[in-house]
A and B are shown apart, each in its own frame.
Chain A
Amino acid sequence: MITTLADLLPLMPLLITTATTIVAMIVIGIRRNYAVTAGITIAGLLIASLVAVSMISTTNSQVTPLLIVDQYSLFFTVLICVTAMLITIFSFPYLANLDDSKEEYYLLLSIATIGAIVMVSSNHFVSTILGLETLSMSLYGMVAYPVHSKLADKFPLEASVKYLVLSAAASGILLFGMALIYAQTGTLEFSSIVNVTKETPGLGTGFAIVALIMVFIGIAFKLSLAPFHMWTPDVYEGSPLPATTYLATIGKSAMFVVLLRFIVTTEALSFDSIILVISLVAIVSILAGNLLALLQNSLKRILAYSSIAHMGYLLIALVASYYVQGAISVEAVTFYLFAYMVMSIGAFGVISIVSSSEKEFDDIDDYQGLFWRNPWLALVFTGMLLSLAGIPLTVGFIGKFYLFFAGVEAGLWTLLVVLILGSGIGLYYYLRVVYRMLLSPKGGERFKSGGSQYMGAHGVLAFVLALLLILGVYPTPLVSIIETISLNIL
């Protein structure tokens, strides 16, 4: 097949993001200017997301065997570009006072975004690995970015090395699984792998199961599902906050989209033992994540542990996709990923806006009495935490309701009981933070989050808070979009 220039048109968002990186690199080479570099990144990501939006209703094509550009991948392309842009806005004040070269951080950020876009458009193992490694490599750099800063009080290097070593091991497992699949089917394309589950040729079902489980485990590591979750709190805590946010939102959702496409397309769930394994991982993740967060005092660690639980919740809808006719469980996954990104940007955003590369306010004690010191930030944070806990009138409630509904339709009662238990435990540590914010202030430093360079970040907080509430009360528009795009997955 000869690829013409016109065939590459659907890749415009990807190409624009790449061009953004190159332009930023050239500009840095000519003359270092922090604001200009950040501005180029924001503009590039904005253009990429706008182009993706304009394409969403018309484009549906397979570009080379590696990439599929359909409504579903474009939806997530938009989501990823916008999220990356918002994180850039948060990064700007955070890194402003770093006594080191600051500009290259934005290169890493946009390269990671390229990787994420490739992942959500991937229906082939080669593109999965390419995207995943592009994303991961950049993230190692972002995590370790303030390493030369004398004032870096956490341990970015330690976090980065932990992440690098363990992630490499997980990639190894993932690749091994892919190799086994290739050995049996002779293909790396998701849609052709269906044969592996049909017991036709090859080395029998046991072989296929081992292969699928290894692929799942490789992905489970990146999603920080238990028992492959242990790196999460250490890496979250050690990274600079914008990098943590990136890891928690884009890193997780891009990986989950791959998992969803892989599991649904290959019909891997037609093996009972795969369902069993995924269900077990879901149960362990929900319980471990919530229990670990219970008495935690570091907000970054709380959010890290809670992300383990949230990924576990998502697995329930994934399992449900096998039992339920129609797209309801794919919709549930998509909605929840969206909601999770909104809540995470907001929650990390509040911590990030009061922190900087010199000093991070991460301890729950720092936030005591925030309601009286800074009601605006306390309001946003409360909204995000309540949404993470799944309280009605927030987008998190609708998302959890969606998951629950998919689970009920599928009759996954055991998993639903665990979901309820987990949510109950979760409520405790989310409300604990809200409670501390309501207590009377106990000394504590006044956060410096005013001034012109924080304007954008506050705007982003207002934006995500509005999204959180509006979609919590009136989710219909988003739901109808998700209903349409989810049909692409089936």
Chain B
Amino acid sequence: MLDLIWLLPTYPLLGFLALVLTSGRLPKKIVGIIGAGSVGLSFLTAAIIATQFLAGGEDYFVKEVWAWMAVGSFTPGFSFYLDGLSLVMMLVITGVGFLIHLYATGYMADDPSFSRFFSYMNLFVAAMLMLVLGDNLVLLYLGWEGVGLCSYLLIGFWYTNPANGYAARKAFIVTRVGDTSMAIGLFLLFAQLGTLNIQDVLHAAEAEWAVGSGLAIAAALLLLGGAVGKSAQLPLQTWLPDAMAGPTPISALIHAATMVTAGVYLIARTHILFEIAPSVQLLVAWIGLITVLMAGFIALTQSDIKRILAFSTMSQIGYMFLALGVGAWSAAIFHLMTHAFFKALLFLASGTVILSVHHEQNIFKMGGLRKKLPVSFASFLIGSLALTAFPFTSGYFSKDEILLAALEMDGPGTILWVGGVLGAFLTGIYTFRLFFIVFFGENKGHVPENEVGGIHMNGPLFLLMILSLVGGFIAIPVESVFSHGEVHEEHHVSTLIHGFMIAVPLIGIVISYLFFYAKIFSIEKLMSIPISQTLHRFWFSGWGMDWLYDRLIVFPFLWLSKINKADLIDSFYAFIVKFARASNAMIVRTQTGYIRWYALSIAAGLVVLISIGVLL
């Protein structure tokens, strides 16, 4: 059964092909069955494979499907690698992916491009599985670029609105900066270590490169560049909020549960490389922490329901990076999994809310939706609790592990811990700000008649609710993957600190309650202070990062392209075209059609070639 692992990406790929080749001519019902069913089949297969793999007790399993071509040491092949890490990833991708597909059959039901939507979704799942199951760097890169492409296509899914096209391009270009860095990193690894197989690369790196050596640092930095691009971390984070232009199931699947965590997967997969480059590993932690805090402050000020969730995603991935940075590899993957559950839940629930209030996304135009939208309300309640790490929800266990690991780290560990706890505090505030404003108080805009739903939309929500609640009790089988170098001893911290860590997000929730529910403190009063107005504007614009990048990169680039309108480099290619045309015009004259001329050219060729041969 393990041999059938290649079926995992094959099902959604076939689904994609079927949907593309019929190009929208199938009835919606069948499109839904193909679209969601192919991922469902993948999930079933993944579940069976996972059971057998765990029962077998092996550390890893390799399945070579076929070798594309073998030229020297360049032997890219289709082979799959399964270990605890890819096992968790494949289950999350197919499991959560299937639920989101199912939800989408309801959410997208009225969309004229229903079939196109599912074809992209299936292609995404196939590419993402390729990414996490690939045994070599080429397959990994194929999957990496594949999910990037699907992300682009789906952000711009409603392409008739130019703003969506703009958002899609922005996401593509910003992540491309990271992708380029990663590609160079992969080239470096291949050039230096002479193999494409990921495990061989890692072991060779460990054996050949000293800890802290220049090559190790360069390779780790370049891969980190790819990871921050894909996972929307500082400094390549600006694309994620705009990516919310896509349909909501996309935001749930690609921009919350799976694709944006690919950077976390990449670093976890190549953790050996980061261990021999400790300075880069520390940088990962700092990037994570700063992103946690930055995104947390931004989320405090946003008014678009999906953007708030987007910034919270960015912030939660920041936690995963923090975990990676302090060497708590399995905690990072654990948080990746629980985050996939509750963030998918929150996004899907926000989708229901948005549909129910007729595509309104501004939270200040909602309000009091608790009674009208009971399922969304329950989903948001559970999702928000898990997100703020309320005790015994899934988010609590994973975030707790991350923070404790940070605390135990020598050196900057305490600072990282303090920052992480501050982040948790912010999470409590912004999450429940959203919750109270949307579901309590007066309705200030659309009053929904009834909640959009049905079994295929509410079913996934219920399942995700359960997972968000109890997901923290799932033990992920990744010990053997990270067996060496992980902080492994039981966490010894005083009850006081532990209590403090539990209390902080709760305090955040309480503050939110006082401001937005009980209205004991007035937000208007707070805003009347000049400094907080400035801060609000600053945070609302995402710390002015877009502004800064516009000034630093976009405008200079546009300026350059303006003064270089008659492109200098283009003129070289234009010359090639002209040259080719001129040569063509000259040389076609030799094709006269006269046999005597042809015979002459043979004779001339004979004489010239013999002369060259004899004289030189």
Chain A residues within CB distance 8 Å of chain B: 161-162, 165-166, 169-170, 173, 206, 209-210, 212-214, 217, 221, 227-228, 230-231, 233-234, 272-274, 276-277, 280-281, 287-288, 291-292, 294-295, 398, 401, 405, 425, 428, 473-476, 479
From known contacts A234-B593, A398-B69, infer whether A292 and B616 are also in contact, taking CB-CB under 8 Å: no
Query: Contacting chain A: which of B136-144, B209-217, B316-324, B582-590?
Result: B582-590
Contact of B609 among A213, A231, A287, A295 (CB under 8 A): A213
Are B613 and A276 interface neighbours, CB within 8 A? yes
From known contacts A166-B598, A210-B610, A230-B598, infer whether A292 and B591 are also in contact, taking CB-CB under 8 Å: yes
**Can you list the 8 inter-chain pairs with the closest CB atoms, starting with the nearest?**
A227-B605, A230-B598, A294-B584, A273-B613, A213-B613, A291-B583, A209-B613, A291-B584
Query: For residue A292, which residues in chain B have a CB less than 8 angstroms away from its CB?
Result: 584, 587-588, 591
* B548 interface residue per 8 A CB criterion: no
Q: Smallest Cβ distance from A269 to chain B, in angstroms?
A: 13
Q: Smallest Cβ distance from A92 to chain B, in angstroms?
A: 31
Bound: A213/B69 CA distance, A:
37
Bound: A281/B613 CA distance, A:
12
Query: For residue B606, which residues in chain A have a CB less than 8 angstroms away from its CB?
Result: 173, 214, 217
Q: Smallest Cβ distance from A105 to chain B, in angstroms?
A: 25
Bound: A179/B150 CA distance, A:
66
From known contacts A280-B609, A291-B580, infer whether A227 and B68 are also in contact, taking CB-CB under 8 Å: no
Bound: A428/B583 CA distance, A:
15
Among B283-309, those with CB < 8 Å from A are none
Contact of A274 among B68, B587, B613 (CB under 8 A): B613
Bound: A221/B601 CA distance, A:
11
Contact of A162 among B580, B587, B595, B610 (CB under 8 A): B595
Are A166 and B593 interface neighbours, CB within 8 A? no
Bound: A213/B613 CA distance, A:
8
Q: Smallest Cβ distance from B606 to chain A, in angstroms?
A: 6
Query: For residue A210, which residues in chain B have a CB less than 8 angstroms away from its CB?
Result: 610, 613-614
Query: For residue B558, which residues in chain A have a CB less than 8 angstroms away from its CB?
Result: none
Are A425 and B580 interface neighbours, CB within 8 A? yes
From known contacts A273-B616, A291-B584, infer whether A475 and B69 are also in contact, taking CB-CB under 8 Å: yes
Contact of B610 among A213, A221, A227, A398 (CB under 8 A): A213
Are B595 and A165 interface neighbours, CB within 8 A? yes
A–B Cβ pairs within 8 angstroms, 27 of them: A166-B598, A166-B599, A217-B602, A217-B606, A227-B602, A227-B604, A227-B605, A228-B602, A230-B591, A234-B593, A273-B612, A273-B614, A276-B613, A281-B609, A291-B580, A291-B583, A291-B584, A291-B587, A292-B584, A294-B580, A294-B581, A405-B71, A425-B580, A475-B68, A475-B69, A476-B69, A479-B69
Query: For residue B604, which residues in chain A have a CB less than 8 angstroms away from its CB?
Result: 227
Query: For residue A274, which residues in chain B have a CB less than 8 angstroms away from its CB?
Result: 613
Bound: A196/B380 CA distance, A:
89
* B597 interface residue per 8 A CB criterion: yes
A206 (CB) vs chain B CBs: closest residue? B614
Are B612 and A276 interface neighbours, CB within 8 A? yes
Query: For residue B610, which residues in chain A have a CB less than 8 angstroms away from its CB?
Result: 210, 213-214
Q: Smallest Cβ distance from A271 to chain B, in angstroms?
A: 8
* B572 interface residue per 8 A CB criterion: no
Contact of B68 among A230, A287, A425, A473 (CB under 8 A): A473
Query: For residue A209, which residues in chain B have a CB less than 8 angstroms away from its CB?
Result: 613-614
Q: Smallest Cβ distance from A325 to chain B, in angstroms?
A: 14
* B67 interface residue per 8 A CB criterion: yes
Query: For residue A476, which residues in chain B have a CB less than 8 angstroms away from its CB?
Result: 66-67, 69-70
Query: For residue A206, which residues in chain B have a CB less than 8 angstroms away from its CB?
Result: 614
Are B601 and A230 interface neighbours, CB within 8 A? yes
Bound: A274/B614 CA distance, A:
9
Bound: A474/B598 CA distance, A:
43
Is chain A's interface secondary structure helix, strand, loop, or mixed overall? helix
Bound: A354/B373 CA distance, A:
63
1/0 per residue B56-74: CB within 8 Å of A? 0000000000111111000
Q: Smallest Cβ distance from B66 to chain A, in angstroms?
A: 6
Query: For residue A170, which residues in chain B have a CB less than 8 angstroms away from its CB?
Result: 602
Query: For residue A221, which residues in chain B have a CB less than 8 angstroms away from its CB?
Result: 602
How many residues on B have C-beta within 8 angstroms of the other chain's C-beta atoms? 30
Bound: A170/B70 CA distance, A:
41
Report which residue of A161, A210, A294 has the largest number of chain B beta carbons within 10 angstroms of its beta carbon: A294
Are A474 and B66 interface neighbours, CB within 8 A? yes
A405 (CB) vs chain B CBs: closest residue? B71
Contact of B616 among A217, A276, A425 (CB under 8 A): A276
Q: Smallest Cβ distance from A294 to chain B, in angstroms?
A: 4
Bound: A479/B66 CA distance, A:
14
Q: Smallest Cβ distance from A209 to chain B, in angstroms?
A: 5
A166 (CB) vs chain B CBs: closest residue? B598
B77 (CB) vs chain A CBs: closest residue? A476
Are A277 and B613 interface neighbours, CB within 8 A? yes
Query: For residue B584, which residues in chain A have a CB less than 8 angstroms away from its CB?
Result: 291-292, 294-295
Q: Smallest Cβ distance from B68 to chain A, in angstroms?
A: 7
Query: For residue A162, which residues in chain B have a CB less than 8 angstroms away from its CB?
Result: 595, 598
Among B550-599, those with CB < 8 Å from A are 580-581, 583-584, 587-588, 590-591, 593, 595, 597-599
Q: Smallest Cβ distance from B167 to chain A, in angstroms?
A: 29
Q: Smallest Cβ distance from A174 to chain B, in angstroms?
A: 11
Are A401 and B69 interface neighbours, CB within 8 A? yes
Q: Smallest Cβ distance from A389 to chain B, in angstroms?
A: 15
Bound: A137/B595 CA distance, A:
19
B615 (CB) vs chain A CBs: closest residue? A273
Bound: A116/B204 CA distance, A:
53
Are A165 and B599 interface neighbours, CB within 8 A? yes
Bound: A474/B78 CA distance, A:
10
Bound: A292/B597 CA distance, A:
17
A162 (CB) vs chain B CBs: closest residue? B595
A476 (CB) vs chain B CBs: closest residue? B67
Are B597 and A217 interface neighbours, CB within 8 A? no
Report which residue of B66, B591, B597, B616 has the largest number of chain A beta carbons within 10 angstroms of its beta carbon: B591
Q: Smallest Cβ distance from A475 to chain B, in angstroms?
A: 6
Q: Smallest Cβ distance from B46 to chain A, in angstroms?
A: 25
Bound: A55/B38 CA distance, A:
47
Bound: A294/B585 CA distance, A:
10
Among B71-89, those with CB < 8 Å from A are 71
A213 (CB) vs chain B CBs: closest residue? B613
Query: For residue A233, which residues in chain B have a CB less than 8 angstroms away from its CB?
Result: 591
Query: For residue B68, which residues in chain A have a CB less than 8 angstroms away from its CB?
Result: 473-475
A290 (CB) vs chain B CBs: closest residue? B580
Q: Smallest Cβ distance from B525 to chain A, in angstroms?
A: 64
Query: For residue A217, which residues in chain B have a CB less than 8 angstroms away from its CB?
Result: 602, 605-606, 609
Query: For residue B66, which residues in chain A have a CB less than 8 angstroms away from its CB?
Result: 474, 476
Bound: A47/B612 CA distance, A:
48
Query: For residue B590, which residues in chain A have a CB less than 8 angstroms away from its CB?
Result: 230
Query: For residue B593, which residues in chain A have a CB less than 8 angstroms away from its CB?
Result: 234
Bound: A474/B583 CA distance, A:
39
Given known contacts A221-B602, A234-B593, A272-B616, what 8 new A-B pairs fall within 8 Å (CB)? A214-B606, A214-B610, A217-B602, A228-B602, A277-B609, A281-B609, A291-B580, A294-B584
1/0 per residue B441-456: CB within 8 Å of A? 0000000000000000
Are A228 and B595 interface neighbours, CB within 8 A? no
Bound: A274/B613 CA distance, A:
6
A209 (CB) vs chain B CBs: closest residue? B613
Bound: A476/B604 CA distance, A:
44
Q: Smallest Cβ distance from A230 to chain B, in angstroms?
A: 4
B598 (CB) vs chain A CBs: closest residue? A230
Bound: A161/B595 CA distance, A:
9
Are B591 and A288 interface neighbours, CB within 8 A? no
Query: For residue B591, which residues in chain A have a CB less than 8 angstroms away from its CB?
Result: 230, 233-234, 292
Q: Smallest Cβ distance from B582 to chain A, in angstroms?
A: 10
Q: Smallest Cβ distance from B242 to chain A, in angstroms?
A: 33
Bound: A281/B598 CA distance, A:
17
Bound: A473/B77 CA distance, A:
10
Bound: A161/B602 CA distance, A:
16
Bound: A428/B576 CA distance, A:
12
Query: For residue B609, which residues in chain A have a CB less than 8 angstroms away from its CB?
Result: 213, 217, 277, 280-281
